[in-house]
Amino acid sequence: MSENTDTRELFRRYEGNPIITARHFPRMVNAVFNPGATVFEGRTLLLLRVEHRTGLSSLVVATSADGLTDWRIERERGLEPDPELIEECWGIEDPRITRIGDEYYVVYVGYSAYGPLVSLAKTRDFVNWERCGVLQSPEDKDAALFPVTFDGRWALIHRPVTSAPGLGAHMWLSFSPDLHYWGDLRVLLAARRGGWWDANKVGLGPPPLLTDRGWLVCYHGVRVTASGSIYRLGLALLDRDDPSLVLSRGNEWVFGPQAPYEQSGDVPDVVFPCGWILRDDGDTLHLYYGAADSVVCVATASLSQLLEHLGVHPFAHG
């Protein structure tokens, strides 16, 4: 097992956290968390999961000029669950945004009457949406598209759950010629076992980010303890041309719940990112995450430091 040579945290919390809370909304909502992120018309755009006081969630847009301050809730932009669709009758959650050309492809969890599933909708302006249907049947979550094709096929990372006890929940990769028919499934990153921080359950964080070393992946690992689950984040690197090849996977988590707003809330001890943005300097990375299923926060990292960290962790099965 490689030793971690880092002496400082790779992700630094913004001192203004939490950046968006339920108090930003004129009408009462329960919680705001797990935002997707992108740049739209020169502003940072977050697609927030807003949990209403019904318990069901919808997606609402907030924007900011600098990605840190002065968030503006844009009520006219966003996506509501379609009450006619049984695929999302209990709300829509955890959006992950991939920009492809002029369009934003949003992969989200539809909470269907048959369990959580993976759906896709696309938009150019976050006002008008085209629903593209269900990509993966229940139970499946934590999914995002790559922004490019591989040998003519789109690729999706997702996280199906088996009902067989004790076999864990792992990250899978599927391919499609048309974003409609999905197949050629394989396990991408398996949850480790035993005492590991990412034993038994892992899932994708933000969409994969292309770097000069390959696709950077941030994922959550769930540690079950006597007093509940702890959601922490780890990193992996996939081959640029064949994303089914895992080049590197960190052994240690790189970010976990430590601040009071991460340790207490509706679901304590959760950091759960669905979006990140690489800033114009090519190195500053803003990671947008839900804390304790209650509020929205941001942390900053240096991309070169993350890649350096992964360089000392060649991939090994846990």
Q: How far is the CB of 126 from ligand BMA (least distance, A)?
A: 21
Query: Which residue number, 159 or 309, has a Cβ lying nearer to ligand BMA?
Result: 159
Is there binding between residue 57 and ligand BMA (CB under 6 A)?
A: no
Q: Pick from 105, 248, 293, 297: which binds ligand BMA (CB under 6 A)? A: 293
Both structure tokens of 293: 């299923």
Q: 128: which residues sit within 8 A by CB, 6+ positions away?
A: none
Q: Pick from 34, 63, 136, 294: which binds ligand BMA (CB under 6 A)? A: 34
Is there binding between residue 94 and ligand BMA (CB under 6 A)?
A: yes
Distance between CA atoms of 264 and 257, rounded to whole angstroms?
A: 9
Is there binding between residue 198 and ligand BMA (CB under 6 A)?
A: no
Contact 120, 136 (CB under 8 A): no
Is there binding between residue 88 and ligand BMA (CB under 6 A)?
A: no
> What pairs with residue 96 in β-bridges?
107
Is there binding between residue 51 and ligand BMA (CB under 6 A)?
A: no
Q: How far is the CB of 290 from ligand BMA (least distance, A)?
A: 6
Q: How far is the CB of 5 from ligand BMA (least distance, A)?
A: 31
Q: 38: which residues sit within 8 A by CB, 6+ positions away?
A: 44, 45, 47, 97, 99, 104, 275, 277
Q: Which amino acid is at 257?
A: P
Distance between CA atoms of 12 and 101, rounded to whole angstroms?
A: 31
Q: Pick from 290, 294, 299, 301: which binds ligand BMA (CB under 6 A)? A: 290
Distance between CA atoms of 280 and 296, rounded to whole angstroms?
A: 23
Q: Catalog residues that contact ligand BMA under the rule CB under 6 A.
A: 34, 93-94, 231, 267, 270, 272, 290, 293
